[in-house]
């Protein structure tokens, strides 16, 4: 998710301060280290900390745009804080992604997508398929194919 926000900002010529979730600091450190091998010094920066650190960044008058992926509750707080200085915001707040399967769908492809999208990252992504609506006429075939595909997935350590 961070790449979807960092790369466009960098390509547009901006400097970036990346404050990742305090729950995934090592992944963020690795990403920044890889990108910084190619970027000039000081273009991509990383700051670690909790919500107070994030709030301090949002309050800073030196920051023009805040991009946030996370909960609706934190998003509302960011919006309130950012509004004081009329900062621009990009927010992805608790995705809620349905999948719709119509009569003319390729059932095999739809089943593979449904399972992959639901299982990827253990379903802990804002773009994970959370519910599926299937036209009644093909629902039995679709459900059967989803079961077959899902049985091919291995859970736990490989």
What's the pTM value of the predicted model, to 2 decimals? 0.67
Residue 22 DSSP class: T
For the cut 90, the answer to whether the pLDDT of residue 71 exceeds it is no
Contact 84, 107 (CB under 8 A): no
Please tell me the predicted confidence (pLDDT) of residue 158: 63
Active site residue: 29, 126, 130, 148, which one?
126
Residue 123 confidence (pLDDT): 65
CB atoms within 10 A of CB 157: 4
* 3-state helix, strand and coil shares in percent for the chain, rounded to the nearest 5: 50, 20, 35
CB atoms within 10 A of CB 50: 10
Percent of the chain with pLDDT over 90: 72
* Catalytic residue flag (residue 126): yes
| Mean pLDDT, rounded, for 113-128 | 80
Confidence of residue 101 (pLDDT cuts 50, 70, 90): very high
pLDDT at 119: 85
pLDDT in tens, 22-32: 988 999 999 99
Q: Return mean pLDDT, the chain.
A: 91
Can you give the pLDDT at residue 79?
97
Please tell me whether residue 152 adopts helix, strand or coil conformation: coil
Active-site residue flag, 92: yes
Instruction: Compute the average pLDDT of residues 99-117.
Output: 95
- Estimate to the nearest angstrom the gap between the alpha carbon of 41 and the chain centroid: 27
Burial class (CB in 10 A: 0-12, 13-18, 19+), 93: middle
Q: How many CB atoms lie within 10 A of CB 102?
A: 11
Within 8 A by CB and 6+ apart from 61, the residues are 85
What pLDDT was estimated at residue 129? 86
82 contacts 76 by C-beta, under 8 angstroms: no
Report pLDDT for 107: 97
22, 92, 120, 144: the catalytic one is 92
């Amino acid at each position: 998710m961070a790449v979807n926000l960092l790369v466009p900002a960098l390509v547009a010529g901006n400097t970036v301060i990346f404050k990742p979730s305090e729950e995934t600091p090592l992944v963020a450190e690795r990403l920044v280290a890889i990108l910084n091998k190619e970027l000039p010094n000081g273009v991509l920066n990383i700051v670690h900390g909790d919500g107070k650190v994030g709030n301090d960044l949002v309050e800073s008058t030196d920051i023009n745009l805040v991009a946030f992926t996370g909960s609706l509750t934190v998003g509302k707080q960011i919006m309130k804080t950012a509004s004081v200085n009329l900062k621009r915001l990009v927010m992805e707040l608790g995705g809620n992604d349905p999948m719709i399967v119509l009569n003319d769908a390729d059932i095999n492809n739809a089943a593979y997508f449904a399972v992959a999208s639901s299982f990827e990252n253990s379903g802990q992504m804002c773009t994970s398929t959370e519910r599926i609506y299937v036209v009644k006429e093909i629902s039995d075939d679709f459900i059967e194919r989803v079961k077959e595909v899902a049985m091919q997935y291995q859970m736990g350590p490989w």
